[in-house]
Amino acid sequence: MKFVITSCIALVAAIAKVNADCFSTRLGYPCCSSWNKQVAYTDNDGNWGVENGNWCGISNQQSATGGQCTGQNQGYQCCNGCKVEYTDNDGKWGIENNQWCGIKNTCSSSNNNQNQNQNQNQNQNQGSSSSGGGSAPSNPPKVTGGQTGKTTRYWDCCLASCSWSENTNAKHPVNACQKDGKTVINNFSYLIGSACSGGSGYMCSNNQPWAINDNVSYGFVAAGFSSGSQKDWCCTCQRLEFTSGPIAGKQMVVQITNTGGDLSNNHFDIQMPGGGVGIFNGCSSQFGAPNDGWGERYGGVKSAADCSQLPTELQEGCKWRFNWFKNADNPSVTFERVQCPKELTDITGCVPADDASAKKLPW
């Protein structure tokens, strides 16, 4: 009997310890398995992981431990060598046999850190400055084995459809903003009404594109695909390589924040201020834009000089079209899904539930 009582006490103590370490149970989410140390998202509550497509909480003890190398607990092989090709929040990565591999913890850090810092500084110096930040190689690897698609452009100021919790599998939907385009609406316990349909929610003004360097940009899109549903697409990221027009060969990493009934299969509608409001126009109520928006309703303004018609906070994204994008008219693309860069998810607040399983960016 003493053994049974002692065992019960130990079990209760163990459960109490797990619950104390794993914050997510009080929020209605399970704790991650002990082997899962991959942090997919971090907020004020703690570190979150993903298992079987569902969010789970990573305990403080799990976060403090790791495998023999970066990514081992995610199923990646350890590198044989110590050459660092890429560094992210997970750790240091190498490439061997054309596959990503994790740098071993036993590798000397001094030379690797020096090389990595040199590479990062070189990439940043090659790129133009932007408020969104980020770094990428000036000659990024080509997209291989991807699908083909097309692009258009728009900026309608309307609340993005991925701002509704029911439209995404992510823990947090895309940020919505008040009329000023800056103040984020934080209460997602109810459906936020779009200003384009009588509500008060608008697209946030920071959802505009920016250049990392001459050949790579980051930004946001509305999208439609030949398979799946909006709930599968919302907040996922794609690497686009343009294959036609004056920007052929350039690349753009985009996060999907919206969709629309007018979008066809493998269709990316790039958000760029002054790109045309299209079907809906929330810019008139938000910024006092003309009835058809700035410039033509479909197509937008005609030149960089016309960007002066837009509010100051939208002019950089408008000029991006005539600078980095070279005023390309609906170029075609080859694309592949990738893990979302932190620079994009920091803006939208939305991280796909299965983001950790997506292909890493090759830089």
Active-site positions read 156
SS3 for 62-85 is: HHCCCCCECCHHHCCCECCCCCCC
* Residue in the block written with tokens 């049974």: 4
Q: Alpha helices of the chain — where are they, by DSSP H?
A: 2-21, 60-63, 109-126, 230-233, 283-287, 312-322, 342-348
Q: Which pair of tokens denotes residue 283?
A: 């810019």
Q: Do residues 149 and 330 lie in contact, with contact meaning Cβ atoms separated by under 8 Å?
A: no
Which residue from 214, 220, 249 is spatially nearest to 129, judged by alpha carbons?
Answer: 214
Please say whether the beta carbons of 324 and 136 come within 8 A.
no
d(CA 79, CA 21): 32
Token look-up 């800056």 returns 182
Backbone angles phi, psi at 149, to 5 degrees: -155, -175
**Tokens matching residue 152:** 């258009």
- What is the b/e burial string over 216-254, where b = at least 16 CB atoms within 10 angstroms of the residue's CB? bbbbbbbbbbeeeebeebbbbbbbbbbbebebeebbbbb
Residue 292: CB atoms within 10 Å: 15
Contacts of 290 (CB under 8 A, 6+ apart): 284
According to DSSP, the residues that pair with 150 across neighbouring strands are 267, 332
Asked whether the beta carbons of 345 and 351 are under 8 A apart, the reply is yes
